[in-house]
C-alpha cells in the first residue's frame, strides 16, 4: 500500500489544532508576516483571530504576491450541471436524496444545448457537475458527456462523486484538465452527522480521493471545505495540510482552492458556524501568503459586491452567470438549484467590472493537447 | 550603433524580447510592445483562441515587424511539447518555438531531460528551437549538438523578479556558447537586464516585471534603454572591476632594472 494523506492526517488532532489557533499571539502573526517563505504554522497564525488586526497588511501582501505570480488576470469559467440525481443524504445540500425535488439527468441533446448556450456566452472553460448516482451518472456517462462537449470547450474540469484511480485516468485521457473534490469537513464525527447515508458517508474514502486523482496524473486538483459546517479555521488548516502533502507527493500537479461558504438552500437548516466577509477575506489572504502559486477560486455563491472587492486581493479564478441546476441555462431554467446564486449579474457585466478594475478576463488558459499523453 | 543580433535566419535590431502574459489588459500589452521596440514576443499556445479567427492577444501584435515566438507553456513532457509546437506552427504560422517544459507548476523550473529530447526532435523537423532551461552550461552544449537556435537560461525562477541569481553559470554559458544566449527568467529590474547585457548575453526576455508594473509602457521603455546601455557597455570593451586597486608594480619592478645597477 502506497503512502496516502491518511498517514499524515492521523497524526493531527482537531482539538489541539483548534487550541493552537486560539492561543496564537500577535507576535506569531508578525513573525509569519515578516517571512519570505511561509510554512503551515504561519498559515495557522494568519488565519487565527490574532491576525484580524493585520488584515489590511495581509491584503496588501496578498495583492502583490498574486499579481507577481498570476499577473492582472482573472480566469472565467461556468459550471454545467449534468444531473441532480443523488443517493447521498447531505443535510446541507439542495440535491440531498431526502429532498423531494424533481430529478433530472441531462440527455445528449440537452448537454449539447446547455454547452452551446455557455459557449455563446463566451465561456471556453466549463466545470461539469453532478450529484452521486453511480448506476446512471458514472464514468461512462461522464466520458460520453466529455466527448460531446470537447469540440466546444478547450478547457474541461469536473466535480463529481469520488471515483477510482482508473476512472480518473480515463478522464485524463478524455482531456479533463482539473478534478475538484471537497472534503466538506475534516472533522470525522461531524462529517458523519452531515452525511448520514450514501457512499459519501465514508469519510476515509473521500479523504483518499485526491491521492487517487494525483496518481492518475490529472493536471490540476481542486480542494476545499464547506465553510460553515464546522470551525472554518480548523477545517482550513487541515485543507492546507492536505495540499501541502499533495504538493510534495504529486509534484507535477497544480492545486486550486475554492471557498464555498454555506448559503441558504431549500429544505436546509442554516449553517452552524458563521463566517463573515472579513473572515473570508482573511482566509483568502492567508492561503495566498502561505502558498503564492495556489489558484484561488470564488463562485457566484458570493455577493457581487464582495466578489468585485476581492478580485485584486488574491483571487485568480471566478465563475460567472452560473446556474446550479441541470438544464438551468436553456433546457429547464425554472428547476430547483443546488444552492442559491448571490451574484446574478450577466457575464458581460462581470467582464466589464473585471476590466474596470484593471484586470484582464481570461477565457482559456489550457490546451487539451496537454492532457492524456 | 550596436551590432545586430542574428538568430537562425532573422536579424534583430532590438535585444529585448517580451512575454505577453500577466498584463492587466490587451491594450497595456500592445502599448508595452510598441514602446519597447521589441522585435520578438512570446505567446502561450494555451492562451490562444484557435477556434475563431480573432484572438485578443494575436490581433494586437504587428506581425510585419515582430517575430511571433509561440511557447509550449503547460507541457510537462517532450511529447506534449512537440505536439504543442506543431499546433502552434499551424495556429501562428511560424516554425519558431520557445520550448517550455516545466512539469513543476510551483516554480515552473524546466525539465532538462524532456527539453533536450523535444529539442532534438523539433530541430530535426526544421523548427527554430529556443529552449527555456536552467543555467546549466553542459545542457547548453548538448542543446547545441541537438540543433538548437539559441539557449534561454534562467536568471532566477520565472516571475520571481529576483534578478541574476545564476550569474556565475550564466558567465560560463556565455563564454562557451556558439549560439545566442538569451537570459529568460527572473529579470526584475532594468538594472538586472543591463547587467545581463554587460556580461555579454545576446538578449533578454522580460515579462512579469513589465506586465505587472503600475505603468507597463513606462517599464517597457526603461527596460529597452537598459538593454541598449548594457549592450553598448559590453561592446565598448568595458574594463572588469578589480577586487583591489593595482598599484604601480613594486613586486615586479626589478624586471626593468639591468643587473649590477643598484
Closest among A277, A315, A275, A278 to A298, alpha carbons compared = A315
Give A-chain residues touching B101 at CB under 8 angstroms. none
What is the arithmetic mean of pLDDT over B27-55? 88
Cell 488576470 maps to which residue? A73
pTM score > 0.80 for this model? Answer: yes
Those residues with Cβ within 8 angstroms of residue A294's Cβ, 6 or more apart along the chain or in another chain = A243, A255, A256, A257, A287, A288
Residue B182 lies in a domain: yes
The Cα of A81 is separated from the nearest Cα of chain B by a number of Å equal to 24
Give the pLDDT of residue B54.
67
**Parallel, antiparallel or unpaired: strands A317-319 and A73-83:** parallel
Q: Which of B19, B54, B74, B162 to substitute to test the interface with A, most A CBs within 10 Å? A: B74
Q: Is the pLDDT of residue B262 over 60?
A: no
Judge: A72–B74 Cβ closer than 8 Å, yes or no: no
Q: B23 at the A interface (CB within 8 A)?
A: yes
Residue B16 lies in a domain: yes
Residue B249 lies in a domain: yes
B93: alpha, beta or left? (left if phi > 0; alpha if psi -120 to 50): left
Cell 526603461 maps to which residue? B222
Closest among A34, A75, A78 to A58, alpha carbons compared = A34
Give the pLDDT of residue B91.
87
Q: B22 at the A interface (CB within 8 A)?
A: yes
What does the DSSP assignment read for B148-199?
-S-BEE-SSSTT-----TTHHHHHHHHHH-SS-BEE-S---SHHHHHHHHHH
Residue B262 lies in a domain: no
Q: Is the pLDDT of residue B5 over 60?
A: yes
Instruction: List B151's β-bridge partners, or say none.
Output: B181
Residue B31 lies in a domain: yes
Question: Residue B79: how many CB atoms within 10 A of its CB?
Answer: 15
Give the pLDDT of residue A94.
83
Judge: B25–A358 Cβ closer than 8 Å, yes or no: yes
Closest among A278, A250, A249, A274 to A261, alpha carbons compared = A274
Continuous segment of H or E residues that includes residue A279: helix A277-290
Residue B208 lies in a domain: yes
Give A-chain residues touching B212 at CB under 8 angstroms. 67-68, 71-72
Cell 492536505 maps to which residue? A242
C-alpha grid cell, residue B113: 531531460
Q: Is B106 in the active site? A: no
Q: B258 at the A interface (CB within 8 A)?
A: no
- Structural domain count, chain B: 1
Those residues with Cβ within 8 angstroms of residue B9's Cβ, 6 or more apart along the chain or in another chain = none
Give the pLDDT of residue A264.
59
Residue B128 lies in a domain: yes
Cell 449579474 maps to which residue? A345
Give the pLDDT of residue B258.
80
Q: B103 at the A interface (CB within 8 A)?
A: yes
Cell 429547464 maps to which residue? A332
Give the pLDDT of residue B49.
80
Phi, psi (5° rounding) for residue A328?
-65, -25
Question: Residue A75: how many CB atoms within 10 A of its CB?
Answer: 22
Under DSSP, is residue A292 helix (H, G, I), strand (E, B) or coil? coil
Give the pLDDT of residue A101.
87
Distance CA A342, CA A322 (A): 10
Q: Which of B25, B57, B103 to substitute to test the interface with A, most A CBs within 10 Å? A: B25
What digits encode the pLDDT tens for the residues A214-249?
999 999 999 999 999 999 999 999 999 999 999 999
Domain that holds residue B252: 5-256
What is the arithmetic mean of pLDDT over B115-136? 97
Closest among A10, A14, A4, A7 to A235, alpha carbons compared = A14
| Domain A5-365 grouped into CATH 3.40.190.10 | no
What is the arithmetic mean of pLDDT over B107-111? 93
What is the arithmetic mean of pLDDT over B165-190? 95
Closest among A353, A345, A340 to A320, alpha carbons compared = A345
Q: Which of A351, A362, A369 to substitute to test the interface with B, most B CBs within 10 Å? A: A369
A53-62, B59-68, B147-156: least confident range: B59-68
Residue B261 lies in a domain: no
Give the pLDDT of residue B67.
94
Of B98, B124, B195, B240, catalytic: B98
* Low-confidence spans in chain A with pLDDT less than 50: 1
What is the arithmetic mean of pLDDT over B209-219? 95
Give the pLDDT of residue A163.
97
Give the pLDDT of residue B55.
78
Amino acid at each position: 500500500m502506497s503512502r496516502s494523506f491518511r498517514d499524515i492526517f492521523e497524526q493531527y488532532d482537531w482539538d489541539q489544532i483548534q487550541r493552537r489557533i486560539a492561543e496564537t499571539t500577535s507576535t506569531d502573526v508578525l513573525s509569519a508576516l515578516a517571512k519570505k517563505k511561509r510554512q503551515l504554522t504561519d498559515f495557522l497564525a494568519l488565519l487565527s483571530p490574532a491576525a484580524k488586526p493585520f488584515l489590511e497588511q495581509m491584503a496588501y501582501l496578498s495583492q502583490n504576491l498574486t499579481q507577481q505570480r498570476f499577473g492582472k488576470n482573472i480566469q472565467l469559467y461556468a459550471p454545467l450541471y449534468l444531473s441532480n440525481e443523488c443517493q447521498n443524504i447531505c443535510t446541507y445540500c439542495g440535491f440531498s436524496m431526502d429532498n423531494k425535488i424533481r430529478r433530472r439527468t441531462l440527455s445528449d441533446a440537452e448537454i449539447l444545448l446547455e454547452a452551446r448556450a455557455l459557449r455563446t456566452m463566451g465561456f471556453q472553460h466549463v466545470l461539469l457537475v453532478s450529484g452521486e448516482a453511480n448506476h446512471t451518472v458514472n464514468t461512462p456517462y461522464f466520458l460520453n458527456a466529455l466527448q460531446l462537449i470537447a469540440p466546444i470547450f478547450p478547457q474541461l474540469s469536473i466535480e463529481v462523486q469520488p471515483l477510482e484511480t482508473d476512472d480518473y485516468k480515463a478522464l485524463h485521457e478524455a482531456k479533463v484538465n482539473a478534478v475538484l473534490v471537497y472534503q466538506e469537513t475534516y472533522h470525522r464525527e461531524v462529517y458523519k452527522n452531515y452525511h448520514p447515508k450514501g457512499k459519501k458517508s465514508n469519510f476515509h474514502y473521500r479523504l483518499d480521493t485526491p491521492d487517487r486523482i494525483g496518481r492518475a496524473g490529472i493536471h490540476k486538483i481542486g480542494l476545499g471545505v464547506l465553510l460553515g459546517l464546522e470551525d472554518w479555521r480548523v477545517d482550513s488548516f487541515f485543507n492546507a495540510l492536505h495540499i501541502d502533502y499533495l504538493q510534495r507527493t504529486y509534484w507535477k500537479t497544480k492545486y486550486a482552492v475554492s471557498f464555498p461558504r454555506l448559503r441558504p438552500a431549500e429544505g436546509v437548516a442554516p449553517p452552524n458556524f458563521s463566517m463573515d466577509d472579513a473572515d473570508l477575506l482573511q482566509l483568502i489572504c492567508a492561503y495566498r501568503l502561505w502558498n503564492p502559486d495556489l489558484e484561488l477560486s470564488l463562485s457566484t455563491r458570493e455577493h457581487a459586491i464582495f466578489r468585485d472587492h476581492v478580485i485584486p486581493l488574491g483571487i485568480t479564478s471566478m465563475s460567472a452567470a452560473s446556474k446550479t441546476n441541470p438544464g438551468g441555462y436553456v433546457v429547464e431554467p425554472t428547476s430547483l438549484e443546488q444552492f442559491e446564486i448571490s451574484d446574478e449579474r450577466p457575464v458581460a457585466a462581470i467582464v466589464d467590472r473585471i476590466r474596470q478594475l484593471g484586470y484582464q478576463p481570461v477565457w482559456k488558459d489550457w490546451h487539451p493537447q496537454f492532457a492524456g499523453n | 550603433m550596436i551590432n545586430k543580433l542574428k538568430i537562425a535566419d532573422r536579424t534583430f535590431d532590438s535585444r529585448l524580447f517580451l512575454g505577453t502574459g500577466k498584463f492587466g489588459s490587451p491594450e497595456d500589452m500592445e502599448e508595452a510592445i510598441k514602446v519597447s521596440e521589441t522585435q520578438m514576443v512570446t505567446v502561450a499556445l494555451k492562451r490562444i483562441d484557435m477556434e475563431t479567427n480573432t484572438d485578443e492577444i494575436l490581433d494586437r501584435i504587428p506581425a510585419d515587424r515582430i517575430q511571433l515566438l509561440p511557447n509550449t507553456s503547460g507541457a510537462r513532457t517532450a511529447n506534449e511539447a512537440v505536439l504543442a509546437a506543431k499546433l502552434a506552427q499551424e495556429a501562428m504560422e511560424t516554425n519558431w518555438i520557445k520550448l517550455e517544459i516545466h512539469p513543476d507548476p510551483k516554480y515552473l523550473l524546466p525539465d532538462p531531460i524532456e527539453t533536450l529530447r523535444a529539442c532534438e526532435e523539433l530541430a530535426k523537423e526544421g523548427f527554430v528551437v529556443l529552449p527555456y532551461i536552467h543555467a546549466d552550461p553542459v545542457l547548453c552544449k548538448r542543446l547545441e549538438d541537438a540543433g538548437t537556435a539559441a539557449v534561454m537560461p534562467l536568471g532566477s525562477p520565472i516571475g520571481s523578479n529576483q534578478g541574476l541569481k545564476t550569474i556565475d553559470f550564466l558567465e560560463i554559458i556565455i563564454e562557451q556558447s556558439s549560439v545566442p544566449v538569451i537570459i529568460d527568467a527572473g529579470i526584475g529590474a532594468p538594472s538586472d537586464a543591463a547587467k545581463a547585457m554587460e556580461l555579454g548575453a545576446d538578449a533578454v526576455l522580460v515579462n512579469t516585471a513589465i506586465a505587472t508594473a503600475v505603468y507597463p509602457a513606462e517599464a517597457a521603455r526603461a527596460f529597452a534603454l537598459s538593454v541598449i546601455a548594457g549592450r553598448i557597455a559590453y561592446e565598448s570593451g568595458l574594463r572588469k572591476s578589480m577586487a583591489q586597486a593595482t598599484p604601480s608594480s613594486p613586486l615586479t619592478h626589478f624586471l626593468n632594472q639591468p643587473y649590477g645597477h643598484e
